[in-house]
Amino acid sequence: MSWQPSASMESIQQRAKLNAYIRDFFAQRFVMEVETPVLSKAAVDDANLQPVIANSCGEAVYLHTSPEYPMKRLLAAGSGDIYQICKVFRDGEVGSRHNPEFTMLEYYRLGFDLNTLMDEVAQLVGDYLFVQRRIDLSYAQALKQYAQLDVFNIDDGKLRKRVSEFVGDELILSRDECLDIMMSHVVEPNLPQDALVFIYNYPASQAALANTFEDSHGNVLAKRFELYVNGLELANGYHELTDVVEQQARFDQQAKRHEDARPLDDHFLQALKQGLPDCSGVALGIDRILMLKQKSSSIKDVLSFDFNRA
C-alpha cells in the first residue's frame, strides 16, 4: 500500500542511530553542527548536478544540491570546524542508488590536508560499518589496474573507442565524461569488496572546488578523493580551493559549458575575497551508508518515503 513507508521500521531506527553516532563523533572532536538554507538564489556551479528549480517571492530559486557555498561562507566568517546533516536535491536522479531528495553529511576541518581528512573519514565510516581494511589508489592506478587504461597518455580517439563499448558511437562526449563512464562501468564494479577504497589525485579537469598541484611527471592533479565500499561511492572530498581569482575563472569555464544560464553565487565569491581558511571538506551520502549497513541493494529500502511515495 503506497501510504506506508518505503523502509522497514528497523531501517528507520537504524537511521536515527546513525544520526546519533555522527553527532557524537563530531561532539568528541569539538566540530560544531550548523544549518544553512535549503533554498538558494544561486545553484552550486557544477555542470554534472541538475538543481530542482522552484519559485518564491516572484523569482526563481533553487533547492540546493549541496550546502557547500553557505557553509564556506560560515567558515570565512570565523565559524571554525563545522558539519551539517541535511536534505539535498538533484533533478532527474532516480534509480536503485538515487533519489531526487536524499540526505548528505557535509563537513569541513580547518588545517587538515587531504590525507588527514581521508584518515578521519576512514574512521567515521569504517567504525560504523565495521570495515577496517583500507586500500588507497590514485585515479591513474585505479584506471590502469581495473580498466587497463593509461589515463594521462591515452588520446581522445582511443578513449572514445573504449567508451563506445558501453554507450555506442552516436553520443558526443567530452574526455571527462568518457573517463566517468570508464569509472562507473569498469572500475567501480571491480573494486575490492569489504574494504574502504580511497581513490585520490583526480585529473585537474575534475577538480571542481579543489586545489591542484603538478606531480613529478608534469601532470596537473586535483587534491580530491572519493571513497567506495563494495563498489558504492560514499564520499567526495577536497582540499578546498581558497583563491578567489582561480574560483572565478573556473566559474567562467563552467558557464561556457552550461546549457542553462545559472546565476553565480556572489555571496560565496565575496566570502572567498574576505578569506576562506585553509581547510579540507567532504560530502558523504547518508542513505548509501545505510544501504551498506542494512545490506540493501535499493535506496528506497532506507528512505521513510521514496520518490514514488513522497
Dihedral Cα 198, 134, 108, 221, nearest 10 deg: -30
Residues 227 and 265 in one domain: no
84 vs 42 pLDDT, higher one: 84
Kindly state whether residues 204 and 281 are assigned to the same domain.
Answer: no
- Model confidence pLDDT, tens digit, residues 53-83: 888 777 888 999 999 999 999 999 999 999 9
pLDDT at 261: 64
pLDDT in tens, 107-149: 999 999 999 999 999 999 999 999 999 999 999 999 999 999 9
Spatial separation of the C-alpha atoms in residues 236 and 118, rounded to whole Å: 10
Same domain, 204 and 254: no
For residue 249, is pLDDT > 80? Answer: yes
Q: How confident is the model at residue 258 (pLDDT cuts 50, 70, 90)?
A: low
Beta-carbon contacts of 169 under 8 Å, excluding residues fewer than 6 positions away, are: none
pLDDT at 189 over 80: yes
- Give the residue from 95, 116, 94, 121 showing the smallest Cα distance to 106: 121
Q: What is the CATH number of the domain that holds 202?
A: 3.30.930.10
DSSP secondary structure letters along 230-282: TTEEEEEEEEB---HHHHHHHHHHHHHH-SS-PPP-HHHHHHHHH-PPSEEEE
In Å, how far from its chain's centre is CA 118? 14
Cα-Cα-Cα-Cα torsion 34, 35, 40, 42, nearest 10 degrees, comes to: 10
Query: What's the pLDDT score for residue 131?
Result: 97
Same domain, 165 and 100: no
Give me 128's grid cell: 560504523
Neighbours of 155 (CB within 10 A): 9
C-beta separation of 82 from 107 below 8 A: yes
Q: Which of 194, 213, 242 is the last residue of a domain?
A: 242
Indicate whether 270 belongs to any domain.
yes
> Does 286 lie in the same domain as 298?
yes
Domain encompassing residue 271: 1-111+245-310
Per-residue pLDDT tens digits for 265-277: 889 999 999 999 9
Domain end residue (candidates: 242, 275, 298)? 242
Name which of 71, 94, 73 is nearest 83 in CA terms. Answer: 71
The per-residue pLDDT for 260 is 61
Task: Work out the mean pLDDT of the chain and round it to a whole number.
Answer: 92
157 with 218, same domain?
yes
Burial class (CB in 10 A: 0-12, 13-18, 19+), 117: buried
Give yes or no: residues 235 and 146 share one domain. Answer: yes
Where among 218, 242, 266 does a domain terminate?
242
| Same domain for 93 and 19 | yes
183 lies in some domain: yes
Considering its fold, how many domains does the chain have in total? Answer: 2
Measured from the Cβ of residue 153, the count of other Cβ atoms closer than 10 Å reads 10
Residues 234 and 188 in one domain: yes
Nearest to 240 by CA among 122, 130, 116, 112: 112
Residue 122 lies in a domain: no
